[in-house]
Structures are given as C-alpha cells and as structure tokens.
Structure 1
C-alpha cells in the first residue's frame, strides 16, 4: 500500500458532504453518536490527505460541523461553533480572489447561536488564517445587539 492516498476534489466533496449530512441529521433531531463522530474523523482524514487548501478547508469545515461542542468554558470550544464557517470561508478565498473578511457582516447567525457563543470565552489565538477568520467572526457576532 502506498504511503500517499490520491484524492480528487470530487473525493473530498463526497467525504465533506457525508460529514456535513451527518451533522445535518443531528441538527434535525438525530443523536450524537458513533456515526456522527466517525464521519467527523473521516472528514478530518480527508483534510489531512488533501494537497491544497481548496481541498483541505471544505473537509475541515465538515469536520467542524460535526456537533461536538462540549460544555467546557474554554476558548477552544468556539472552534466547534464557528469553525465550519471559518474553514468554508477560507476555502472560498482563493477562488473568489478576495478576503473573507468583508463577508463577515453578511453571515447570518441565529440569535440562539450567538447566545451560545457568548457563554464561552472569546476565540483563542493562533490557528493561522482560519483562526483569524474565527476571531473576526467571533468578535462581529458578539458585538451584535442582544
């Protein structure tokens, strides 16, 4: 077996879609169980195997959307709330030829999501461009009037 797995964009889209669909099942009333966790790990594996940001970031977005927010008062948990958006925004940047920063205010978040976000410390430092986008969105959402 080769040490490298060859993945096309279609392969990555399939894994990303599978993980996102599993998260959607949870969002619509399903359980947080083995299937959801396994699809998150599969999406992370697809991200690790991708050779470009355009391949990695959508898979990471699906992994982040897998509904594993924990009731721990840690800044790192903010990534479970905003990570999917940040990875998806990062993936779109090269294709759009522009920064995702300008799209922050156009990103809708339900008041319930903002309420949950405000229960946690602000997004942590680090994480490269995705971390920067997470912090920008975090600050924008927290600044919205209640």
Structure 2
C-alpha cells in the first residue's frame, strides 16, 4: 500500500492489462494509417511492442522508442496534404498511446487517465475522421472500448480523479469514455 497521498496502487498485472487494452484499441484503426502510408511500419511496431509487454515482456528503451516513433509518424501524417491524413494521424497517435500505456505512473493525477484511455480516444477520433465514417463512428468506437475494457482499466480509473478538461475532440472522447467506464450518466 502506498503511503504517499499523491500515489495510487498500480500492480504490474494491471499495467500489462491496461497496455493490452490500449494495443487492442489502437489495432482497430491501424489499417487507416497503413492505407494512407503503406510503407511506414512505425505504428504497427508500437502496437506490437505494447502487446509484447502486455504478454509478459519487459519495459525497455525499445518499447519507449517505438511509442515515440509512432508519435513522430502521426505528426508526419498530420502534415500530409492527403485527404485521409487526419484519420491516419489519429491512428498513429493511438498506436503511440498504446506503447505509452506501459509507462503509466502511479500518480493520483487526472492526467494519468489519458495514459489509460488515450489509445481508445485517438482510435475513436480516427474512426470518426475516416473517409468512410458515418456520423456515429466515434460514439460506436467509445461504446466498443467501454464494452471491451478489462477489469484493470476500471479498477485503476476508480483510483484516479476524473479525466481533465481540455484536449479538443480527443479530450472530449477521453472524458466520454471515462464517464462511461465509471458508470455515470446512465451508462
């Protein structure tokens, strides 16, 4: 048990379960990135590295580097003039968050909520921005993420303050999912 009031309990098992969840969420939209930038493996490598950690691997510098590489890929996609680049950028951000989930801090901070739910929220935004999306793609992705959240996601969220304000549309999706997972507002 933590004696520091600014810290929460966070087991390695919970961290692995959260990271696996983040990888699953990101993998749902990986095709959006790979369709737009077929020769770039960085987001896939970030998801694979997250899955390896979730399945018992170590948190290594390579895992962190894969997360940063996917983040860089997102920035490059966002700067692209291609019509499908906004969805591709969000898909790469989801992959980056998947790898980053392995580095969740045991801090009682609302900002840690994004480390848990960032991959799911960016995946929902990617689905919303996809050229073939309908007007309900983000809500459907949030609902799918809620239904598939493993127990560690909800138990660790219960130890944290609610998701913080801000963050644009992705921040809104983080808050929507956070609210849904905590069982508020009729979910």
- RMSD over equivalenced CA pairs, Å: 1.5
Unaligned runs of 5+ in 1: 1-7
* CA positional deviation for 1:70: 0.5
Using the alignment, how far apart are the partners of 1:16 and 1:103 within structure 2? Answer: 19
Q: Which residue matches 1:9?
A: 37
TM-score under structure 2 normalisation? 0.68
User: Match for 2:59 among 32, 41, 44?
Assistant: 32
**Compared with structure 1, are the counterparts of its residues 103 and 35 closer, same or farther at alpha carbon in structure 2 (3 Å cutoff)?**
closer
User: Match for 1:106 among 119, 131, 144?
Assistant: 144
Using the alignment, how far apart are the partners of 2:106 and 2:153 within structure 1? Answer: 14
Q: List per-residue Cα deviations over 1:19-69 (Å, max 9, x = no partner).
A: 000000000001111011000110111111113311211111011111211
- Count, aligned residues: 136
Q: Which residue matches 1:141?
A: 181
User: Match for 2:112 among 77, 89, 93?
Assistant: 77
List structure 1 runs of 4+ shifted beyond 6 angstroms: none
Q: Is residue 93 of structure 2 the alignment partner of residue 53 of structure 1?
A: no
Using the alignment, how far apart are the partners of 1:11 and 1:118 within structure 2? Answer: 40
| 2:90/2:123 contact within 8 Å kept | yes
Q: Which residue matches 1:64?
A: 97
Greater relative CO, 1 or 2 (CA 8 Å, sep 6+)? 2
Q: Which residue matches 1:88?
A: 123
Q: List per-residue Cα deviations over 1:111-135 (Å, max 9, x = no partner).
A: 2211011111111111111110000
How do residues 111-126 of structure 1 correspond to structure 2 at under 5 angstroms? Answer: 111-126=151-166
**Compared with structure 1, are the counterparts of its residues 109 and 9 closer, same or farther at alpha carbon in structure 2 (3 Å cutoff)?**
same
